[in-house]
């Protein structure tokens, strides 16, 4: 099981994100170590890894928040990020947050349409600090989608939500992706989440790719599926989680 699990080579769409030999150090050992990764147009990739594996650094680099010092990174201009905390401006109403920086005359209409897409029509004029955790995260997703990005990054977007809300949000993200078809990089440490949503799961360890798994399951996916369970085993194993054998 320690072998790299790679099924038959799949024909991948033309990449929109290309990372070659990306290395990042903050003083000590490399956080990202000569990393190669690409994400195809409209592809949904889940990035897994334990804390300290370099997930967040990779995401920050792709978002342009960290500089590239070694290696090459090619990212389209229109990138949107959904953070773990919604990061809404508390002094702007929800629709103003979504329309932030759009500048267009129809910014408000577009913001309201995006809020409708994430099921927040009724909270358009609310102040962000009055939103629940799930609502705030929906607003964050609307703010990302309203820009129609080619590449969407989600940084553990559901980590701080309760289990029920998380299931609903995962389903919603799946639908939104099917509709918008942007390339997605979902950073998570939830194996089931990766298997529910992604075309491909990449497990990062010490700044390198330890395992890469193509998830070729029909959608919508179900936890009970045998292949789902097999892949979960593969990913958990790659993450170093001991499993009871049965």
Query: Toward another protein, which CB reaches closer, 32 or 80?
Result: 80
Residue 228 found at the interface with another protein (CB under 8 A): no
Nearest partner of 45 among 118, 140, 152, 138, judged by Cα: 152
Residue 92 found at the interface with another protein (CB under 8 A): yes
Query: Toward another protein, which CB reaches closer, 79 or 196?
Result: 79
Dihedral, CA of residue 73, residue 76, residue 80 and residue 82, to nearest 10: -30
What tokens were used for 186? 């979902």
CB of 89 to another protein, least distance (A): 6
Q: According to CB under 8 A, which residues from 38 to 67 bind another protein?
A: 63-65
Query: Toward another protein, which CB reaches closer, 100 or 217?
Result: 100
Alpha-carbon distance 182 to 130, whole Å? Answer: 30
Residue 81 found at the interface with another protein (CB under 8 A): yes
Query: Toward another protein, which CB reaches closer, 87 or 232?
Result: 87
Residue 148 found at the interface with another protein (CB under 8 A): no
Distance of CA 152 to the CA centre of its chain: 7
Residue 159 found at the interface with another protein (CB under 8 A): no
Residue 90 found at the interface with another protein (CB under 8 A): yes
Which listed range, 25-33, 124-132, 184-192, 234-242, lies at the site for another protein (CB under 8 A)? 124-132
Residue 218 found at the interface with another protein (CB under 8 A): no
Query: Toward another protein, which CB reaches closer, 54 or 128?
Result: 128
Residue 241 found at the interface with another protein (CB under 8 A): no
CB neighbours of residue 145 within 10 Å: 24
Q: Which of 10, 36, 74, 130 binds another protein (CB under 8 A)?
A: 130
Residue 128 found at the interface with another protein (CB under 8 A): yes
Residue 79 found at the interface with another protein (CB under 8 A): yes
Residue 207 found at the interface with another protein (CB under 8 A): no
CB of 93 to another protein, least distance (A): 8
The contact set with another protein (CB under 8 A) reads 63-65, 79-81, 83, 85, 87, 89-92, 100-101, 127-130, 143, 147
């Amino acid at each position: 099981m320690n072998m790299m699990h790679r099924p038959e080579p799949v024909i991948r769409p033309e990449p929109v994100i290309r990372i070659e030999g990306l290395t990042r150090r903050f003083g000590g050992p490399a956080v990202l170590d000569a990393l190669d990764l690409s994400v195809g147009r409209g592809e949904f990739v889940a990035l897994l890894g334990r804390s300290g594996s370099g997930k967040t650094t990779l995401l920050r680099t792709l978002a342009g928040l960290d500089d590239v010092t070694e290696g090459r990174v090619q990212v389209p201009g229109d990138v949107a990020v959904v953070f773990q905390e919604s990061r809404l401006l508390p002094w702007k109403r929800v629709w103003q947050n979504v329309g932030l920086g759009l500048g267009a005359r129809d910014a408000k209409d577009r913001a309201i349409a995006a809020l409708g897409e994430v099921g927040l029509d009724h909270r358009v004029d609310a102040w962000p600090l009055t939103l629940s955790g799930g609502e705030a995260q929906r607003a964050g997703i609307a703010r990302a989608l309203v820009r129609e990005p080619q590449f969407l990054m989600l940084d553990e977007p559901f980590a701080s939500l309760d289990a029920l809300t998380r299931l609903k949000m995962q389903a919603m993200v799946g639908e939104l992706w099917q509709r918008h078809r942007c390339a997605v990089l979902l950073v998570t440490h939830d194996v089931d989440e990766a298997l529910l949503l992604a075309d491909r799961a990449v497990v990062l360890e010490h700044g390198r790719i330890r395992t890469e798994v193509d998830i070729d399951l029909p959608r919508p996916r179900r936890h009970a599926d045998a292949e789902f369970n097999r892949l979960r085993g593969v990913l958990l194993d790659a993450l170093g989680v001991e499993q009871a054998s049965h």
